Structure 1
Amino acid sequence: MRVMHIATAPAPAAAYRERLSPSLWTLLSAAVVAPMVALVFVPLNSVVALLAGVAVAVAFIGLLVATSPVVAVRDGELFVGRAHIPVGLLGDPVGLSGEDARAARGPELSGTAWHVLRGGIDPVVRVAVLDEGDPVSEWVFSTRTPERVVAAIRRAQAGAR
């Protein structure tokens, strides 16, 4: 009997991946939709009202989480939401938090910057775009772990060289 071994390359794992899901307070605020929907259906039937309220709240919260942007570094590219750019076209990334992050999100945010900023997530990463033909000067995006994003971008940049 002859045994064949098929070598398969492992799927490349994401060097970094994070979903910018809504904060707990946002999710709790969204859950307020349940009693509002239930009140609409109470005149029909209290059981139907309860089920409708819970179903709508679960669907609404699920939609909030499912449509949250994802930050990822994989296959030599940085992905933020639906946008992506090769890491070879990026400068040195900088992770910011506290007052520096507030300034980067506000007064220092360039009109030519591309950004994904989420309320409730304080830290940001700022990285210049080196491509002369790109009208975007830099990417500024929220992340809960700026050190890990910066390290992943730098590792990907080192691997691209």
Structure 2
Amino acid sequence: MTTIERGFPPLHAEVVPTLGAWLDFYRATLIGKCEGLTEEQLRTATVPPSPLTLLGLLRHLAAVERQWFRIVLAGEDVEKLHGIEDGTGHDGGFALDDTGFDEARVAWTAEVEHARRICAELDPDATGSLCGAPVSVHWVLTHMIAEYARHCGHADLVRERLDGSTGV
């Protein structure tokens, strides 16, 4: 498993680069929570009664990346991932299937790279569309930071229960 670099966001920069840096910080935090674990551990729910796993979090966040950046902001006509298409909404990706961590990480990495390209190409004042309502780049980036921060907190608990590891 390759370690992902987790840089600290700039203290003074334009809005979109600052928000992007904070999002990357949390993306790296999530991957850091997964490093050094076995496939079995990555699939283990450790905080009953929640079925939440680190693999499920990664799959979910790949689906969320695709939804907000590719579908909402860029207007791409691509298939939604992991149950979001069938109306299960926020549960997309949490339920595990035969997909292993390496495959899930490749899919997540591809979505993250695609999201970064979209943000680099869009005017900072551009808007996407969610159910016909305009959605700004700033809103999507802020939402994604909140999404990752919340799920990194979940990952903290799952990881600590797996092997006692804290931090990252």
TM-score class, shorter-chain normalisation, is under 0.3
> Whose strand proportion is higher, 1 or 2?
1
* More helix by percentage: 2
Higher relative contact order (CA 8 A, sep 6+): 2
Of structures 1 and 2, the larger Rg is shown by: 1
